[in-house]
Each structure stands twice: as structure tokens, then as C-alpha cells.
Structure 1
Amino acid sequence: MEPSSPGTEASVQVEDREGVRVLTLSHPARRNALNDTLLDALDAALEPAPHVRALLVRGAGGTFCSGYDLTRLGPPGPDGRLPDAWVMAVLLKLERHPAPTVALVEGAAVGAGFDLACACDFRIGTPGTTFLMPPARLGIVYSPEGLARATRLVGLARAKQLFLTARKLDAREALDWGLLDECLEPAQAEARAHALCATLAGQAPLAVAGMKEGFGLLARASLGEAELARLHALRAAAFGSEDAKEGRAAFLEKRPPRFSGR
């Protein structure tokens, strides 16, 4: 994850071509880290449209997405809203988009960038692709939606390794674990991603949207109100903890964190 700084240019480049909408994250100063500007632009670009029959999500400059703006990860607001609520809402919108989605994962996919890739239906990487999920290093409890997305792809035991140990996966391991569907050299990966999107866009839209929603319903965890409230409380406590402050500071200062359990 990377911090954002005032005045740093961030945008989502949107290109529509023959039924495929290409969304390119561009935040060059912070390796395409998500901030409110990018999230607002993504949210707008994810509004369903009849002419958009497939989505390709990628990052500019050889990095997919280095995470979420660390300066936004403070304690919950006075209304109890968690600091990552907006990013999780946008990722859920991507996951539930009626059009099928393909992530072209070049370079690093870290934290919310990892989750961004998982929110897509397909993931195509290159030999330089890496995945890292660092919430345990930052002293925070990741969202249940994000935990579920990763667990559905790699299984419970491997998801625990990723989230509890902050283990970095290279492209070969990501392919073996199911985080990547394909791993190709960069030029071939880009061509394959566009070809897959073209194939998806050529199918019957109502059939694809209906089956995609069906898969989503089959995979969805059925947590009750009490379980959801408990997870919210755990996340709120972690976001407001001393360990979360230390985790952010250590990350920014590039030193090992000194956690106290408070």
C-alpha cells in the first residue's frame, strides 16, 4: 500500500471499444494506489450501460495497483463508518457488475489492489506479477467481503497464509494457487486479455449477466446480522488501535513494526 499526497495526479482512463470498456488506473507517483479520486472515477465508470458487455481492468506503467491510500486508514468516523467503506463499496460494485470482468495484472497487486483483482471474474498475469495482502502488518482487520473473495479463489487454508502472514506470491505461485487464470509474457498477456474480453462481449448479454449473478449468489456467504455486527466491531476496534497507528508509521518509515496488542 502507498500513501497519497496532495496534488498527486490520479485518474481512471476509460476507453470503449466494440463492447469492451477498458479501465486503466493511473496514479504514477504512487504506483496506482487507490485514493478518493480514483475510487470516484471507478464508481462512475462501473455504471452499467447497454453497450458495455465486458470490462478490462489494468494499471498504467507496469504496476496493477499498490493498494489503498494509507492516510485514509484512521479510526472509524463519529457515525461508525469504517475508513475503507468506500473502497469496499466500489469493489463490491465491480464484483457484482452485470458484465464479465477481466483483470490484466502486471506488476504488483497489493492490499486493495490484490482485492481489486479478486473482484474480477478472470485474472491474467505476467512473470513479473506479484500478490501481497498486508493487513496483519498494518494492524487492521480486512473486510469480510475481501476475505471471502480471496477464500473462494485459493481456499481457506491458503487464504489464511496470505492474510495472517502477509506472504508475497510470485506469478508462478499465484497461478498454482488459482489467483491467476493464466500467466503469459507481457505482450501475449495483453493480447490474451483483450481477446478474452472480446469473446465475453460476443456472448448473449442477458445470459452472461444472469449466469454471473447466479454464480455470485451461489458463492455468497450467508452471514446473519449478529455475525456481521461482530465483524464490524472487530474491524472498528482494529482501525482505532495503537497497533494500527504503529503499522502505518512503520510501513511509511520502512521499518519493522513494534506491536503492543493495544
Structure 2
Amino acid sequence: MEPTLEVEDREGGVRVLTVCNPSRRNALNDALLARMDAALEPAAHVRALLVRGQGGHFCAGYDLTHLGPPGADGRLPDDPLVACLLKLERHPAPSVALVQGGAVGAGFDLAASCDFRVGASDAFFLMPPARLGIVYSPEGLARAVRLVGLSRAKQLFLTARRLPAAEALAWGLLDECPEDAEARALALCATLAAGAPKAVSGMKEAFGLLARSGLSPEDVAHLRQVRGEAFGSEDAKEGRAAFLEKRAPRFTGR
């Protein structure tokens, strides 16, 4: 089955986005991101978004076979991901992530980009960039810090700690972990969609502005250079190979 994004507009203004890439546990690639970007174009009839994965898996991250060094034009491999998740985060309609199974790497960030996260009992979160030799985007790091705090975000990103549903709930990464997560996520979407659209979107925009960090243009440029060096490093190449070969990486610092 080819990877795809199912888009379903339900009664009441709820748009359901389902990531379907079963052979890779719903890992994202540029084609899927392009479909998601199109589905996130604001529309008057869309008043709430539900984001989920097919088959009991939320999202296993970004397809590592599509990662590599920066392009000759300076483009970073995850630029489409960063742009798409910012679009989701800043969408005028509120969003709910239904997290069943793993939310790994970009899947973690996909869930964090939503306004609310409802988890099933088998949900877990994991951030592996330190094992892959890459520097995660400052946008994604900031989302994690806002949700769990600086110290716990460091634990997640620097140690690749697996956080099961109960701990994710206690840390604030999940908002709820009910017995019937799907029904609860849909009910929350219905509640959000029933609010006055301009009031909801206006307050969501205000919350977003209040939460944003104030990186200077120089900071942004420096971090982009640091990330580019990491993506092009020997350690990043080794990290991808080790992950795909299911072995421990042998990092050299180059």
C-alpha cells in the first residue's frame, strides 16, 4: 500500500487526518507532508482537526531513507517537516492528536504541534535525534519545553528516553488517557468545533503569540548552521545506518 493521508470531513466541522504508511508504522516523508500541507489550508467549514495514525500506530517519525546531508542550496532535510508542523501549530482551527502506539521523533513533534493530545493506554513517546547524530529543529525543541519544561525536555531529547502513557500524562505531554481514547478525542473535537470560530481562532492565535520564544535572527542563522553540520556529519550517516540495521551506533564525533 502506498503511503497516503486520508482526509475526512465529518459533520459539525471536524476534519480527520489519518496518516497511512503501514509498512513503516506511519512514518512521514515529503509526499505525505505535501498532502498534509494541502489538507491544512484554512477552510471556513473546518472548525477542529483530529490527527491520528492508521492501524494502532500514531507515527514512527520521519522516514530515515529520506534523510541525508543538506542540499547544495542550503536546504535542510527536515525543512518540509518544520514548515508543515508550524502550519498545523498555527492553524486557526484547534487540533487534537489521538495518540495510539508510538509517537517517535517527528511523530512526537506532530503530536506536540496539536493543541491537545489524547492517548490510548499503549501510547508512548520517544525522541531519538541523539542516537541519529542530528540536531532537532528549535521549533520542535521549543514545543517540548513548553509542554514538559526544560529539564524534562532535555531528558527526552538527550537520552532518547521512552515515555509510556502514564508518565506522559503525569508530565503533561498527554492531556488525557481515557479508556476509550478515540471516542474521547472525537468528543473533544466536537466540543471545540461548537465554539464561536472567530473567538476560538483569535484566542488560539493569542496563546501562540504568548508562547513563542524570542530567538534573534542571528540565533536562528547560527542554529541552522549547527543543524546543517550535524545532518552532513559522519555520525548522522552512522546513526541512520545503525537504526536501519537495528544495531548500536558507533559514533566518532565527526
* Paired position in structure 1 for 2:190: 198
User: C-alpha offsets along residues 137-183 of structure 1, whole Å, 9 cap, x if unaligned?
Assistant: 00000000000001000000000000000000000000001110000
> Paired residue for 1:207, among 199, 204, 208?
199
Whole-angstrom CA distance in 2 between matches of 1:177 and 1:44: 33
1:76, CA displacement in angstroms?
0.4
User: C-alpha offsets along residues 2-26 of structure 1, whole Å, 9 cap, x if unaligned?
Assistant: xxxxxx5111111111200000110
* Counterpart code for 1:218: L
* Paired position in structure 2 for 1:85: 79
Identity of aligned residues (%): 74
Whole-angstrom CA distance in 2 between matches of 1:22 and 1:145: 24
Query: Normalising by the residue count of structure 1, what TM-score does the alignment of the two structures yield?
Result: 0.96
- Counterparts of 1:230-241 in structure 2 under 5 Å? 230-241=222-233
Whole-angstrom CA distance in 2 between matches of 1:150 and 1:47: 25
1:257, CA displacement in angstroms?
0.4
User: C-alpha offsets along residues 191-243 of structure 1, whole Å, 9 cap, x if unaligned?
Assistant: 11111000000000000000000000000011001111110011000000000
**What are structure 1's unaligned runs of at least 5 residues?**
1-7
Query: Normalising by the residue count of structure 2, what TM-score does the alignment of the two structures yield?
Result: 0.99
* Counterpart code for 1:164: L
- Counterparts of 1:1-262 in structure 2 under 5 Å? 9-17=2-10, 18-185=12-179, 188-262=180-254
* Paired position in structure 2 for 1:3: none
Whole-angstrom CA distance in 2 between matches of 1:195 and 1:172: 21
CA contact (8 A) 1:9 1:27 kept: yes
1:36, CA displacement in angstroms?
1.6
* Counterpart code for 2:140: G
User: C-alpha offsets along residues 39-89 of structure 1, whole Å, 9 cap, x if unaligned?
Assistant: 111011000000000000000000000000102221100011100000111
Secondary structure of 1:196's aligned partner: helix
* Alignment RMSD (CA, Å): 0.7
Secondary structure of 1:23's aligned partner: strand
Whole-angstrom CA distance in 1 between matches of 2:29 and 2:218: 31
CA contact (8 A) 1:153 1:179 kept: yes
Whole-angstrom CA distance in 2 between matches of 1:120 and 1:177: 16
CA contact (8 A) 1:72 1:84 kept: no
Whole-angstrom CA distance in 1 between matches of 2:65 and 2:20: 19
Whole-angstrom CA distance in 2 between matches of 1:40 and 1:182: 30
Whole-angstrom CA distance in 2 between matches of 1:251 and 1:192: 35
